[in-house]
């Protein structure tokens, strides 16, 4: 898989407990998986858009440990079956960044900086259901693509309040996807169909952690949310 497509697949998406935030498991409160998926069905029907602060941590452990950290803002919207995503980074390892990517109409576009050319990947459309993972995805959407294991509940901060999330481990049903993505764990708020945290295990030595906070749900989004316009 091309690195650009892998980036989108592992962000959905794409992308909570930021380092230092409290999180604790509560297996005794574990809901029936069917109930969780039904909650997601209901919430997804009312999902239109969201924006959130985001931190993407790319971690490799072989041959040496390395952690690459991007922070910025992410936008999602969904109208009927049309799904869009835009990510605009502001920092890379603590330094200013204008890296951005969008997923619109099944086409992934990447820009490393506001001075670099835009690269498009029309073939990324087949990954749409994976890219929207945890943002407006219904329980039926998850069941159609993933083998799901409910790992119980955890309390996470979304930057504004403490939210009881359901921790779900997902393994892709498609063997071609499993070649590039061993498993995904998401901490999802089933009442809003939002992921607060996602951990993508690409292989034993490579993973991506996506952390989301300060959600604005069903608010209007800026005009450049789904473009690569560097103006903020």
**CA–CA distance, 172 with 229 (Å, rounded to integer):** 34
**In 3D, which of 40, 28, 14, 25 has the Cα closest to residue 143?**
40
Asked whether residue 205 is domain-assigned, the answer is yes
Asked whether residue 127 is domain-assigned, the answer is yes
Q: Is the pTM of this model over 0.85?
A: no
pLDDT for 59 beyond 50: yes
Burial of residue 227 (CB within 10 Å: 0-12, 13-18, 19+) is middle
Query: Which two three-digit tokens encode residue 204?
Result: 């034993």
Asked whether residue 193 is domain-assigned, the answer is yes
* Total domains, the chain: 1
pLDDT for 117 beyond 80: yes
**CA–CA distance, 55 with 71 (Å, rounded to integer):** 4
Asked whether residue 100 is domain-assigned, the answer is yes
Which residues constitute the domain of residue 151? 3-15+18-211
What's 175's domain CATH number? 2.50.20.10
Instruction: Give residue 6's pLDDT.
Output: 47
Asked whether residue 44 is domain-assigned, the answer is yes
Asked whether residue 119 is domain-assigned, the answer is yes
Condensed to tens digits (0 to 9), the pLDDT of residues 81-93 reads 788 999 999 999 9
For residues 34-59, one letter each, b for 16 or more C-beta atoms within 10 angstroms of the residue's C-beta and e for the rest, the string is eebbbbbbebbeebebbbbbbbbbbb
Any idea which residue has 């061993």 for tokens?
182
**CA–CA distance, 31 with 205 (Å, rounded to integer):** 32
CB count in 10 Å sphere of residue 89: 20
Query: Which two three-digit tokens encode residue 201?
Result: 């295990």
**CA–CA distance, 232 with 147 (Å, rounded to integer):** 39
Beta bridge partners of 108: 103, 121
Taking all residues of the chain, what is their mean pLDDT, rounded to a whole number? 85
Asked whether residue 219 is domain-assigned, the answer is no
**In 3D, which of 58, 68, 67, 51 has the Cα closest to residue 158?**
51
Asked whether residue 190 is domain-assigned, the answer is yes
**CA–CA distance, 8 with 69 (Å, rounded to integer):** 16
Most confident of 27-36, 143-152, 222-231: 143-152
Q: What is the mean pLDDT of residues 221-229?
A: 90
**CA–CA distance, 146 with 180 (Å, rounded to integer):** 14
Higher pLDDT, 214 or 2: 214
Instruction: Give residue 27's pLDDT.
Output: 43
pLDDT for 23 beyond 70: no
């Amino acid at each position: 898989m091309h690195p650009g497509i892998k980036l989108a697949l592992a962000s959905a998406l794409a992308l909570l407990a930021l380092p230092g935030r409290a999180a604790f498991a509560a297996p005794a409160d574990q809901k029936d998986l069917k109930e969780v998926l039904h909650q997601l069905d209901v919430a997804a029907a009312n999902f239109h858009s969201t924006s959130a602060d985001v931190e993407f941590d790319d971690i490799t452990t072989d041959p040496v440990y390395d952690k690459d950290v991007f922070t910025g803002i992410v936008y999602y919207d969904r109208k009927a079956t049309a799904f869009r995503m835009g990510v605009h980074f502001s920092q890379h390892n603590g330094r200013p960044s204008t890296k951005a990517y969008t997923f619109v109409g099944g086409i992934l576009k990447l820009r490393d900086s506001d001075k670099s050319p835009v690269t498009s990947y029309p073939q990324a459309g087949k990954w749409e259901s994976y890219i929207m993972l945890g943002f407006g995805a219904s329980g039926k959407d998850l069941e159609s693509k993933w083998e799901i294991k409910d790992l119980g509940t955890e309390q996470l901060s979304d930057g504004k309040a403490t939210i009881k999330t359901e921790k779900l481990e997902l393994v892709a049903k498609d063997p071609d996807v499993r070649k590039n993505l061993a498993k995904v764990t998401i901490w999802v708020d089933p009442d809003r169909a939002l992921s607060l945290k996602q951990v993508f295990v690409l292989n034993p030595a490579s993973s991506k952690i996506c952390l989301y906070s300060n959600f604005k749900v069903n608010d209007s989004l800026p005009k450049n949310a789904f473009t690569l316009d560097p103006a903020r």
